[in-house]
Each structure stands twice: as structure tokens, then as C-alpha cells.
């Protein structure tokens, strides 16, 4: 059987998972690929750390040129995280004639145009299934399986750490801080979980999906995003009382105003598939004009789920499917973007609002007055009885459909009332 030599650059958790699949399951990969994927080199500066895989002698090296200068190595899994040296290594691999597979969403969200252009110039390919939602084959689904469709919207839970934390807050009543510690303890969150919980990670993944699904060229830093790090467990409970769960959604949606793009904690109606995604799982709900709604759910991170996606890409690349897809889709090419990103202020939907108000006469009429002035209709109000007049109590309002801009202006005005105590809270609602 034909043998194709492959390498891994960046031999950490994911890299050693990929090595395990290549070494321990060589036969079944050969059966699925019609050829043997032969692990020739694994490159990492750390030659001594113990990993949960036994590499045969001579494979592990700290010298990248053992890959770039070996013309027999055709496919490389580039698994270095962060921007540098990942970008430089990626360019060096492409320039030395390798087809590259990567799991690095930050790199693609930041340098996608440069890397994809360079790959095209060199006649090489980049595969990136593992960069979004780990083991869930969403890149392949959008890029290949749904190619008869105009994608109308994507709603995704793309950050497993945030979803784990939200699940702990909802089901165990944990505070955000407690839930973060629990996530760290279980290995779901980094020592510094900022990029996961502030919406950065999800926005980077959304930028990739927006390019793939809609041809939108958008810098991830331009995507409006709110993390869950400012979320009060009280709102988790109020949402539940109203029949919703709070989920961190990454949204891309075609509207008359262009592509709506944002990452936001959102109240999702219980019973909707996205509301029922628990723990560290990822999920994506895609609507295509022909296929209708398709829903994908699985593990978005972790060693073996991510390695599963990387190895599938290595097989696709080895057999030649990636080259075709890469040429055909022309991602991040210099041609005009197919869709413009809309003004976030025009994004429309329903809102949940919480104002901490002093319970005295006239509060409700003044709050309602401001909403009315901004033509925001109230769908429902929830205010529990206060202990005594003058006490501060939460006033919860669910609005009918309005715009982000109107809701934002109305909330600012309401917050200016002296009977309202900061912080007030505003979140999108999906049902």
C-alpha cells in the first residue's frame, strides 16, 4: 500500500493525540485513506516532557528544518497555539511545499488572508476543521455538505469553557468565580481563562465561520462581543424562572441590512436544542434556504476530539480532497466580499432587561415611558414583591422585537433615573 509521510509541529496535548491516532491506529487510518499515513517527524522545543504516547526513536526533534528540508513529508499538522511563532512556522511549511492542517483559530482569524493567499500562490492547501468546534465537523458541513444552500444563519455555542461555567451556574447555583475554579480544576479552563470567558475565542471562531459561510471579510476584533465574565448568577436564575437558559451564542445572520455578527450571552428558550447543550459541549444550528435547520452537537475541545478533526483533515489532504476544496472555495481571497457586515445598532430581536430599582410609586410608569419613547413594546414584566417601600428590587422586562440601538439608548436613559442603581443588565432573547 502507498505510504505518505506526515509530520506534527507543536507536540503538546493535541499533537500527542494526533500521534496516538497515527501510531496506534495505523491500520484503520490506512483503510479510510487508501494509503498509510506515516508519522515521520514531530517537532517541539521541549524534548523531555512526558506525553501519553510512545514515539519510536528518531521522530521527536526540536529542529523544524528536519521537516521543511525533507521533501518526502507532504502533510504537516501545525499545532502551535497563538500567533507567533505559529504564523512564521506556517509560512515556512507552505514555502517548503507542505500542505498544512491546523487547529489554530486565533492564527486564522488574525492572519487568514495572508496565509491563504500565500498557500494559493504556492499551490498548497490549508485545512482547518479543528479550528472551530473541535470534533464537530462544522467546517466540512458548511464548506462541502451544504454547498447547495444559501446559509441564512448560524447560531453557535463555540466555547466549551463558557458553556461549562454557565451549566455550573445554572444547575449548581455556582457564582461565576466558583464555576471558573471548577472548570480549571477539571482542565476545561486555562490558568488565565480570559480569552475563553470574554468572548475572544468565540469571536475568532465566528470570524472564520463568517468567511466560510457568507464570504464576509471581518476582523474578529470588529465583531461586537460580550463575555460571560460579567454575568450575575441572579440573572441565570431569573432567566430560568422565565423559561430560558443563558447561553453564550456566536451569531451570524443574513439580514436586509447585511450580515449581523455578534457574540453575546443570550436567553435561549428551554426546549430549543441550543438551550439543552450542557457542560463543555459545543453546538451549532445552521439554517440553509434549501435544507432548513441542521443542528450539530459534540465536544468542541479536548485532546482526542480535536485530534479526530486534525486526523480527518490529514486524511483529506493526503487523498487530495482538501486541495480541491481549497481551490474551489477560494477563502479569504482578494475578490470582493460577498456580503457586508451590518451595523450592529440595526440588529433586531427581543431583549431581557434587568434594572435594580428602588420600590416607590411611579417607577414602572417612568421606565415604561422611556421604552415607549424608543418604540420598544414590553412583552412581559416580572417584579417580585419588595420587603418594604424604598428597598432595592430587580425589575425584569422582556421586550418585543426591537433593535440593538434602540434598546441601548433606552437602557442608558433608564439607568440615568436616580431610582435606578447600576449595574443594569441587558441580553438578547431567542425563542
For its own copies, give the closer residue by CB, 298 or 405.
Answer: 298
Contact of 323 with 125, CB cutoff 8 Å: yes
Q: Which is nearer to its own copies, 21 or 420 (CB)?
A: 21
Compare residues 413 and 431 and give the one whose CB is closer to its own copies: 431
Instruction: Between 149 and 356, name the residue whose CB sits nearer to its own copies.
Output: 149
Please give the grid coordinates belonging to residue 24: 496506534
Give residues with Cβ within 8 angstroms of 13, minimum separation 6.
303
**Which of 215, 394 has the CB closer to its own copies?**
215
Choose between 296 and 344: whose C-beta lies nearer to its own copies. 296
Q: Where are the alpha helices (DSSP H) in 83-199?
A: 86-95, 105-122, 138-140, 160-172, 176-185, 194-197
CA distances from 157 to 38, 285, 365 (A): 35, 9, 37
Q: What's the min distance (Å) between Cβ of 270 and its own copies?
A: 11
**Three cell numbers, residue 290:** 434549501
DSSP of 206-252: HHHHHHHHH-----GGGS-B--STT--HHHHHHHHHTTEEEEEEEEE
Pick from 308, 291, 294: nearest CA to 134 = 308
Interhelix angle 233-241/160-172, nearest 10 degrees: 70
C-alpha cell at 256: 436586509
- In the complex, the smallest distance separating the C-beta of residue 356 from its own copies, rounded to whole angstroms, is 34
Residue 420, C-alpha cell as written in the block: 435606578
Report in angstroms how near the CB of residue 291 gets to its own copies at its nearest: 4
Shortest spacing between CB 341 and its own copies, in angstroms: 19
Minimum distance from residue 86 beta carbon to its own copies (Å): 22
161 neighbors 262 (Cβ within 8 angstroms) = no
At its nearest, how many Å lie between its own copies and the CB of residue 277?
A: 9
Q: What is the largest CA-CA distance in the chain?
A: 83
Residues that bind its own copies (CB under 8 A): 17, 21, 25, 28-29, 31-34, 129, 135-137, 140-141, 144-150, 215, 271, 273, 276, 288-299, 302, 304-305, 307-312, 315-316, 319-321, 324-325, 327-330, 338
Rounded Cα gap, residues 138 and 209, in angstroms: 9
Cβ closest to its own copies, residue 15 vs residue 265? 15
Q: How many whole angstroms separate alpha carbon 127 and alpha carbon 319?
A: 13
Handedness of CA 101, 103, 108, 111 (dihedral sign): negative
Residue 3: active-site member: no
Residue located via cell numbers 440615568:
416
Give 327's contacts (C-beta < 8 A, 6+ positions apart): 125
Would you call 381 helix, strand, or coil by DSSP? strand
Residue closer to its own copies (CB basis): 26 or 400: 26
Q: How far is the CB of 398 from its own copies (least distance, A)?
A: 24
Nearest CA to 302 out of 8, 10, 14, 11 is that of 14
In this structure, are residues 308 and 135 in contact, taking their beta carbons and an 8 Å threshold? yes
Smallest distance from the beta carbon of 292 to its own copies, in angstroms? 5
- The position carrying cell 457586508 is 340
**The total number of residues written for the chain in this structure:** 431
Annotated catalytic residue within 5, 74, 105, 205 = 205
Smallest gap from Cβ 32 to its own copies, in A, equals 4
CB–CB of 235/242 below 8 Å? no
Instruction: Give the three-class secondary structure for 162.
Output: helix
Residue closer to its own copies, measured from CB, 61 or 149 = 149
Give catalytic residue positions. Answer: 205
Amino acid at each position: 500500500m502507498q505510504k505518505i509521510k506526515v509530520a506534527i509541529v507543536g507536540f503538546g496535548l493535541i499533537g500527542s493525540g494526533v500521534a496516538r491516532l497515527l501510531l496506534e491506529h495505523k491500520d484503520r487510518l490506512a483503510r479510510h485513506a487508501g494509503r498509510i499515513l506515516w508519522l515521520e517527524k514531530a517537532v517541539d522545543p521541549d524534548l523531555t516532557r512526558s506525553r501519553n504516547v510512545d514515539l519510536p526513536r528518531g521522530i521527536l526533534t526540536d529542529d523544524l528544518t528536519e521537516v521543511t528540508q525533507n521533501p518526502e513529508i507532504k502533510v504537516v499538522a501545525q499545532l502551535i497555539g497563538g500567533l507567533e511563532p505559529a504564523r512564521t512556522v506556517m509560512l515556512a511549511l507552505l514555502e517548503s511545499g507542505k500542505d498544512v492542517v491546523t487547529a489554530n483559530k486565533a492564527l486564522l482569524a488574525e492572519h487568514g488572508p495572508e496565509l491563504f493567499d500565500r498557500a494559493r500562490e504556492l499551490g498548497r492547501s490549508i485545512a482547518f476543521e479543528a479550528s472551530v468546534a473541535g470534533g464537530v465537523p462544522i467546517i466540512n458541513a458548511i464548506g462541502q455538505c451544504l454547498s447547495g444552500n444559501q446559509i441564512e444563519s448560524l447560531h453557535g455555542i463555540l466555547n466549551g469553557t463558557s458553556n461549562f461555567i454557565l451549566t455550573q451556574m445554572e444547575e449548581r447555583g455556582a457564582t461565576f468565580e466558583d464555576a471558573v475554579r471548577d472548570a480549571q480544576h477539571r482542565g476545561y479552563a486555562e490558568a488565565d481563562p480570559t480569552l475563553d470567558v470574554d468572548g475572544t475565542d468565540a469571536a475568532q471562531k465566528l470570524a472564520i465561520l463568517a468567511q466560510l459561510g457568507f464570504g464576509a471579510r471581518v476582523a474578529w476584533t470588529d465583531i461586537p462581543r460580550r463575555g460571560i465574565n460579567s454575568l450575575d448568577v441572579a440573572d441565570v436564575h431569573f432567566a430560568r424562572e422565565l423559561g430560558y437558559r443563558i447561553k453564550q451564542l456566536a451569531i451570524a445572520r443574513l439580514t436586509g441590512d447585511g450580515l449581523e455578527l455578534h457574540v453575546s450571552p443570550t436567553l435561549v428558550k428551554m426546549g430549543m436544542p441550543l438551550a439543552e447543550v450542557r457542560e463543555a459541549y459545543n453546538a451549532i444550528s445552521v439554517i440553509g434556504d434549501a435544507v432548513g435547520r441542521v443542528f450539530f452537537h459534540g465536544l468542541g475541545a479536548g485532546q482526542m476530539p480535536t485530534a479526530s478533526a486534525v486526523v480527518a483533515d490529514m486524511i483529506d489532504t493526503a487523498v487530495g480532497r482538501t486541495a480541491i476544496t481549497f481551490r474551489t472555495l477560494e477563502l479569504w481571497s482578494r475578490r470582493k466580499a460577498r456580503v457586508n457586515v451590518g451595523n450592529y445598532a440595526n440588529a433586531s430581536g427581543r431583549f431581557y432587561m434587568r434594572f435594580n430599582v428602588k420600590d416607590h410609586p411611579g417607577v414602572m410608569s417612568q421606565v415604561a415611558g422611556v421604552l415607549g419613547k424608543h418604540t420598544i413594546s414590553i412583552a412581559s414584566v416580572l417584579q417580585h414583591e419588595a420587603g418594604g417601600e424604598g428597598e432595592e428590587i430587580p425589575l425584569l422586562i422582556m421586550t418585543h422585537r426591537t433593535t440593538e440601538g434602540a434598546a441601548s439608548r433606552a437602557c442608558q436613559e433608564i439607568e440615568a433615573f436616580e431610582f435606578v442603581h447600576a449595574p443594569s443588565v441587558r441580553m438578547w432573547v431567542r425563542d
